[in-house]
Structure 1
């Protein structure tokens, strides 16, 4: 497919300056103007990219974009710029442009630039069978009770970790049948009060894998999406797994994502005393959550042209590096 003549003219202007150093490029007004024009054209052509509400019917650009966002040709991760090293730079869909100030993000409405490869983005689409201007969320406060005895000193240790620090495990009291029955009842009550539930949200580390498998079947059967904190407890010295999982079924399509926590929780004296954990954990030491921290990922989910979201777990909101720039760019 031949590009439009306007694009070819702009590209030739840029190619003619291929030997110009970046430090001198700012003085080349024609080249800078051509670059900005190409950015604007690419942005306008990308309206609807990454959205289930994008153009209908045959559209080669949209079809190719869907493959790229599905991770085809980019080591499984999402990017609209497959010719560029994804560890250096990625181009993603965008829904929110800054309303104030002037930054690089202000240049575009439909494309986001993310520089750096410390966090790998993934992009998923959840086509909505029903269109609504509101979203009703049911917050599920599970488990109903916690005991200090569920916090235990972890068996593992690091040879080079100072004695002032230790690792702590959290042990859930697993009961898949109970939580399944409880969430069924909670959904019934929520529908009676609010009329409709679109999504159910469970807290961080609230479900075991067996409990999650029961809950997700219940929630999806009710036509809701699920966001749930799932804790896979370790055995012996192995680290646990603390993840947030997202599940939805819309228009016959099933979406599932799983994202590990980016930062460990650290319990200090004030928290140990506040939560009554002094009988288990020495308040004179700081205790790190005994979880694995694998390569960082962020999963974006878009429902329509008004809503895209991603999930971050507790410390990942408090310690915003390195994910904040990626989230803001989108």
Structure 2
């Protein structure tokens, strides 16, 4: 059975001092995310945080003590003060070193139920101290510390690509905050909120999250220009395409074997046939909707289009055009591409940070799960002319190289984007999403009406409960209209908003309108970790302050037809 020593040597293969010739584990890692990675991995692997001694109910009668020291007022004061000193002085506090020495002294302990209480106590305390030392990390806090300033500088250097990584710098700050812990052993990322329900690792920390090694899924954390972050965040939702012909979905080859399933592909027949016309076609539409929206809300900060709205060349060109709009910070769109590794189609979300008239940086995130069309969906979306309802049809896409990206768009607030099925499927994205706790999750869909009683409402509600994120889903009007029988009233609920209040808002697009502009208001709320530590009201909660419908002032023939 692996021991505590085996785990420490695995997580810290070069020792606790990066760049040193020694691989000694005698001293506590000086970089708090490294110490957090080691302690949190031990706590997780041993599952010691579930022990009854940490329940807060006190010790059994006859134990010689009336109350457990975990997690009492003395513990809370000690971990808070030690973390604050580590944060400000960039020196390992005595409390952290003592906890580390206790862990190392128990290196022969098996990992699991046999891990001693002394080692478990020390691991949990070191986790808490390192977490407190990381307060504000990954953001641009009002009162920066040496740690937060260093990490922010690393992020901005990466985005600007103006400097190579220096000796001792974080190897890839987007993927993990660790320096001594390799990415293929464990990753540590900033987080926006601690879960308030359940007895889980993600409820043990406020500021950083322990994530799996970057094998099955790679997480990325990015920071934008927060100097422009003032007031509500106004987000323009464009449910494009507005119409979808029946030939937009075509049958592909059948699966080899007895299942009788087949593959299908989505053809973006709503875009102009000539590639050179596509950028202007989309950019002109969005630009006009932004201008109309600005008359309503003053500034538009973000634009989002649904799943597969654009293709890869078009989305890049549209981003460059939209970057010329001075107030726009963020452009998100579902898109398609061909994956160079396999030559197969990809279903992705494209996101770009816009600043100073240009695309400052951009990223792609592939869909993690294939859409399966069954008989009910084939009939509901009137696709029986191209897909045999007696078969199951799987989306023909490559799902390799899974990633999840989070973007800091306001002080202490982050956004994550999911593509359709990834909202509903648990693995691999949901565990890391819940651990990092984004303030806002946007799910771009190719789906029917966004009703609270349908599947998007159910799964959005799960994230609104744990970790407490606000969730926005957006589908295209074209796909939604395909779910209607001739003569029936057409649904118009293109979007759904759900947050921790438990209430859902179905957002309808009025006839004659071409977009919805949402004003998202930020407020602060206090959260606690499983061991009783407060975040002092630092957590940002986003609420839907206003929704306005906007229409193109002079719609072209294709839009008004």
**Equivalence map 1:26-41=2 (5 Å):** 26-29=115-118, 31-41=119-129
The alpha-carbon distance between structure 1 residues 66 and 101, as it changes in their structure 2 partners (threshold 3 A), is farther
Matched, 1:240 2:345: yes
Matched, 1:265 2:371: yes
Contact 1:125 1:302 in 2 (8 A): yes
Matched, 1:169 2:256: no
Contact 1:52 1:303 in 2 (8 A): no
The alpha-carbon distance between structure 1 residues 231 and 66, as it changes in their structure 2 partners (threshold 3 A), is same
CA distance in 1, matches of 2:173, 2:195: 29
CA distance in 1, matches of 2:212, 2:338: 35
TM-score (norm 2): 0.53
Residue 78 of structure 1 and its aligned partner are, at CA, apart by 0.9
Report the counterpart of residue 249 of structure 2 in structure 1.
151
CA distance in 1, matches of 2:139, 2:355: 14
Contact 1:180 1:211 in 2 (8 A): no
CA RMSD of aligned residues (A): 2.9
The alpha-carbon distance between structure 1 residues 79 and 27, as it changes in their structure 2 partners (threshold 3 A), is same
The alpha-carbon distance between structure 1 residues 208 and 28, as it changes in their structure 2 partners (threshold 3 A), is closer
CA distance in 2, matches of 1:17, 1:253: 52
**Equivalence map 1:1-330=2 (5 Å):** 3-23=92-112, 26-29=115-118, 31-53=119-141, 56=144, 59=146, 62-63=149-150, 67=154, 78-115=175-212, 117-154=215-252, 156=253, 158=255, 160-162=256-258, 164-173=260-269, 174-175=271-272, 176=278, 177-222=280-325, 223-224=327-328, 225-232=330-337, 238-250=343-355, 254-330=360-436
Secondary structure of 2:239 counterpart: coil
Secondary structure of 2:415 counterpart: strand
Secondary structure of 2:233 counterpart: coil
Q: Which runs of 5+ in 1 are unaligned?
A: none
Residue 136 of structure 1 and its aligned partner are, at CA, apart by 1.3
Highest RCO, 1 vs 2 (Cα 8 Å, sep ≥ 6) = 1
CA distance in 2, matches of 1:287, 1:128: 44
Contact 2:407 2:414 in 1 (8 A): yes
Q: Encode CA deviations 1:149-185: one digit per residue, 9 max, x unaligned.
A: 121122x555x34452111111113331222211121
Q: Encode CA deviations 1:310-329: one digit per residue, 9 max, x unaligned.
A: 11100111112121110000
Contact 2:139 2:412 in 1 (8 A): no
The alpha-carbon distance between structure 1 residues 287 and 54, as it changes in their structure 2 partners (threshold 3 A), is farther
Comparing 280-289 with 111-120, greater Cα deviation is found at 111-120
CA distance in 1, matches of 2:210, 2:430: 13
CA distance in 2, matches of 1:26, 1:53: 38
Residue 269 of structure 1 and its aligned partner are, at CA, apart by 1.4
CA distance in 1, matches of 2:317, 2:152: 35
Q: Which runs of 5+ in 2 are unaligned?
A: 1-89, 159-164, 273-277, 437-561
Residue 80 of structure 1 and its aligned partner are, at CA, apart by 2.2
CA distance in 2, matches of 1:120, 1:260: 11
Comparing 209-218 with 223-232, greater Cα deviation is found at 209-218
Secondary structure of 1:203 counterpart: strand
TM-score (norm 1): 0.87
The alpha-carbon distance between structure 1 residues 213 and 32, as it changes in their structure 2 partners (threshold 3 A), is closer
Comparing 16-25 with 282-291, greater Cα deviation is found at 16-25
